[in-house]
Amino acid sequence: MAELTYRDAVTRGIAQEMARDPDVVFLGEDVAKAGGVFKTTVGLLEQFGPLRVRDTPISEQAILGAAMGAAMTGLKPIAEIMFSDFFAVCFDYIANEIPKSRYMSNGQLKCPLVVRTGNGAGSRFGAQHSQSVENWAMMIPGLKVVAPSNPRDVIGLLAAAVRDPDPVIFFEHKSLYATKGEVPDGEIVDELGTASIVRSGRDATILALALMVPRALAAAERLKSEHGIDCEVVDVRSLVPLDTQTILGSLARTHRLFTVEENPRLCGWGAEIVSIAADEAFYDLDGPPVRITTPHLPLPAADILEDMVLPTVDRIVDRVRRSLSA
Amino acid sequence: MTKGLGHAQPAIALDPRNDDIGETMRLTMYRMQVEIRESEQRAYDLFLQNLVKGTSHLSLGQEAVAVGFAAAMKPGDLSFCTYRGHAHTLARGVPIEKVLGELMQRDNGLMRGKGGSMHLTSVEHGVMGSYAIVGAHLPIACGAAWRAQYKGAKDVSVCFFGDGTTNIGAFHEALNFASVWKLPVIFVCENNLYMEYTPISEVTAVEHPAADRAASYGLERIVIDGQDADAVYRAATAAYEKARAGGGPSLIECMTYRYSGHSRADPAKYRPEGELDAWKKRDPIKIYRERLIQFGIAETVIAKIEADVKRRVDEATEKCKAAPPPSLDILTTDVYADGGWAWRN
């Protein structure tokens, strides 16, 4: 067991899979010699050499297209898109090409690749380098979508993503890179499609993803100590496949549902889960489900403004407390 | 003939045994051009009978490009095609029935009706998909070529696209990427003079939309006669040899012409009077038929090829007409690798 940053966990996860399988290759902008703009890939070039760890031009379409062509013909590429906001310039591959080739070809084509990307706010980068766009990927049939909240999950879910025969969009949260967590020694392989109950509780279920998980946990501690409200916190981890059994199982015990989402409000992942709960677990609910999200705004750059819009511990505590006392 | 005269035709002895292409290959290329022509003409007829549904984009008039390249390929080489991809698919030896079946949305189609005319794919024949978003497949072909380079395999990826593609970003990203990484990939621009409905010359800063950009990516400027399968075959062979030898990518602009509109919805009324007729005088099949005669191949041999192709197209048509529509149980198959579509537990 060692303490590792989320950033170093990314490096270790990639290295673990590249060491295991020579067909795993890695490409992206500034990932090789520079070690990544977020320093998530330092040392990989030295360890695995220039044939497997490759710098690309600033050509996001070429990066994802090349990853797709390599995956179709036998490699297991990991492609980095530096900021998830840049999905917008290569969205053809994310929306039209990578997820649909298997279906359109009636199963002839395969596309086992991983797209890693820096997602989320907190760095004061403004509206084009701070978004949480996991819903952009979640809405597309044929993709799998994961977003780890801690170093152990980074390694385990990355390994699962690389070994998965389907394309996986892997959202790393930029504001988690410096956070630390305990990580076991040796190989770590997790399972896609599994949510994780990170705090047990009786009074309410709080669903959270990525950066919102530590905030939901902190809120749960305060709700317990200051208000006597005992919350269960579920780290959703995987949006596709979605672990509805764990989510609805928790709801069946607590009878109240909250989502904490960093994305702007419309069509956030929580909306889909609330819709599932309304459809399948309506009579388990003792009150209306509540979505705690960023308002439907572009993200502002200034710290004081950005902090106003992201869900905070205070806001989570306040919304849960008011809902349960209503 | 003196070497070094760029405008001169290469010396061809009118003896099949001495020709660099040879009789067997020539007969194959002729048969394939006729097969593509007849199959696409049949597709058009079937559309008029409402038996081909959806859209279709025909290559009538452009057959020599598909055939010249396919003939220069080796087994294992990979083709990446566009929505105008029937010709390139047939040229790799995919059965006519499979292609027409897909156009007719029948269960015997290449993808059992799940892809349609614009997405013809036959991995067993090296047809790694037909792509309907302009430019998308150029980077994808780079990826397949990267795999060959990384694995030390000798296969080459070829990517066909129209002149309109040269003005989309993915074209430029792919050309630069392939050149920097020195990938074994061949980019083939079929310049048929129209992007869709608009003349390419009206929307492009240079005369030759592909070739005049080659220098930007450190590549040779290559423009060839796309109506002459032999010229295509020779250019293709040189590009394949270069790629296999580790010489990196090639960009080849083939001058050609499509007889029909952009898609079935387009009557092509924007073309100037006489343009179509002028190009039909340089019809690739007419040119090639005359070439065969020139090489001393008997008229009866040629006529037999033509009759044989017509018979096979007729047989394929009848099989497709008799084939059932796709069974509904394929609706939710092959979204994910487990064969199904489950996105939740």
Q: Per the structure block, which two tokens stand in for A47?
A: 């360890």
| Interchain contact, A105 vs B177, CB within 8 Å | no
pLDDT, residue B256, reads: 97
Give the mutation candidate from B105, B128, B147 for the A interface (greatest A CB count, under 10 A): B147
Q: What is the pLDDT of residue B16?
A: 55
Give B185-239 as a 3 state SS string.
Answer: EEEEEEECCECCCCEHHHCCCCCCCCHHHHHHHCCCCCEEECCCHHHHHHHHHHH
pLDDT at B4: 31
Q: Burial code of B283-296, b = ≥16 C-beta within 10 A, e = fewer? A: bbbebbbebbeebe
Chain B residue closest in CA terms to A167: B336
Beta strands in chain A (DSSP E): 2-5, 24-28, 53-55, 76-83, 114-119, 144-146, 168-173, 180-183, 196-199, 204-208, 231-235, 238-240, 257-264, 290-294
Do the two domains A2-183 and A196-325 of this chain adopt the same fold? yes
Distance (Å) from the alpha carbon of B228 to chain A's nearest alpha carbon = 31
Task: State which residue of chain A sits closest to B171, comparing Cα positions.
Answer: A62
Which residue in A65, A110, A144 is closest to B142 by CB distance? A65
pLDDT in tens, B310-338: 999 999 999 999 999 999 999 999 999 99
Q: Torsion over CA of A128, A166, A247 and A321, rounded to 10 degrees?
A: -10
Q: Would you place residue B3 in the very low, low, confident or very high pLDDT band (cuts 50, 70, 90)? A: very low
Looking at the predicted structure, is the pLDDT value of residue B19 above 70?
Answer: yes
> Quick one: pLDDT at residue A230?
98
Q: At what angle do helices B299-322 and B23-48 cross, to 10 degrees?
A: 40
Domain that holds residue B32: 23-264+272-317
pLDDT value, residue B55: 85
> In this structure, are residues A115 and A82 in contact, taking their beta carbons and an 8 Å threshold?
no
The pLDDT, as a whole number, for residue B153 is 97
Q: What is the pLDDT of residues B138-189, one digit of tens each?
A: 999 999 999 999 999 999 999 999 999 999 999 999 999 999 999 999 999 9
Decide if A99 contacts A288 (C-beta within 8 A): no
Chain B residues near residue A67 by CB distance under 8 angstroms: 143
Q: Given B128, B334, B343, which is nearest A107 (Cβ)?
A: B334
Answer whether B176 sits within 8 Å of A104, measured CB to CB.
no
- Cross-chain Cβ contact A56/B140 below 8 Å: no
Give the nearest partner residue to B147 out of A74, A240, A244, using CB atoms: A74
The confidence band for B266, taking pLDDT boundaries of 50, 70 and 90, is confident
Residue of B nearest to A272 (CA): B344
How large is the ipTM? 0.97
Residues of chain A contacting residue B176, judged by C-beta atoms under 8 Å apart: 57, 59, 62
What residues contact residue B27 under an 8 Å CB cut-off, 6+ apart?
B292, B297, B301, B305
pLDDT for B17 beyond 60: no
Instruction: Tell me the CATH class for A196-325.
Output: alpha beta
Give domain status of residue B15, yes or no: no
Nearest Cα residue in chain B from A68 = B140
Report yes or no: B68 and B339 within 8 Å, Cβ to Cβ. no
The dihedral built from the CA positions of residue A102, A105, A106 and A110, taken in this order, carries a sign that is negative
Average pLDDT, whole number, for chain B? 93
Q: Which residues have CB under 8 Å from A31's CB, separation 6+?
A: A41, A44, A53, A54, A55, A80
* Residues in chain B within 8 Å Cβ distance of A109: 121, 123, 128-129
> Is A190:A236 a contact under the CB 8 Å cutoff?
no
Residue B264 pLDDT level (bands cut at 50, 70, 90): confident
Domain A2-183: give its CATH code: 3.40.50.970
How confident is residue B8, by pLDDT bands cut at 50, 70 and 90?
Answer: very low
> How confident is chain A (326 residues) per 10-residue block, as mean pLDDT?
96 98 98 96 98 98 98 98 98 98 98 98 96 98 98 98 98 98 97 98 98 98 98 98 98 98 98 98 98 97 96 98 93
Look up the CATH number of the domain holding residue B65: 3.40.50.970
Phi, psi for residue B287 in degrees, rounded to 5: -55, -45
List pLDDT tens digits, range B40-66: 999 999 999 999 988 889 999 999 999
pLDDT tens-digit map of B176-219: 999 999 999 999 999 999 999 999 999 999 999 999 999 999 99
Domain tally, chain B: 1
**A27 pairs with which residues across the strands?**
A54, A79
Tell me whether residue B32 is in a domain.
yes
Contact B170 A103 (CB under 8 A): no
Residues of chain A found within 8 Å of residue B337, distances taken between Cβ atoms: 102, 110, 112, 164-166
User: SS3 helix, strand, coil % of chain B, rounded to 5?
Assistant: 45, 10, 45
Position B13 pLDDT exceeds 60: no
Does residue B33 sit in helix, strand or coil? helix
Domain assignment present for B330 = no
Which of B143, B176, B343 comes nearest A67 by C-beta?
A: B143
- Which one, of A120, A318, A308, A292, lies nearest residue A210 by Cα? A120
Q: A245 to chain B nearest CA, in Å? A: 6
> Between chain A and chain B, how many beta carbons pairs sit less than 8 Å apart?
162
User: Which pLDDT score, from 0 to 100, does residue B2 have?
Assistant: 32
Whether A104 and B119 lie within 8 Å, measured CB to CB = yes
Lookup result for tokens 């549904």: B53
Contact at CB, A69 and B342, closer than 8 angstroms: no
Average pLDDT rounded to a whole number, residues B222-248: 97
Checking if the pLDDT of B76 tops 80, the result is yes
Predicted pLDDT of residue B18: 58
| Lowest mean pLDDT, pick from A265-274, B108-117, B268-277 | B268-277
Residue B102 in any domain: the answer is: yes
Out of A65, A109, A244, the one facing B121 most closely (by C-beta) is: A109
Q: Where are the domains of chain A?
A: 2-183, 196-325
Give the integer Cα–Cα distance in Å for A125 and A303: 9
Residue B6 is predicted with a pLDDT of 34
- List active site positions of A: 129
Nearest CA in chain B to A89: B169
B136–A62 CB contact, under 8 Å: no
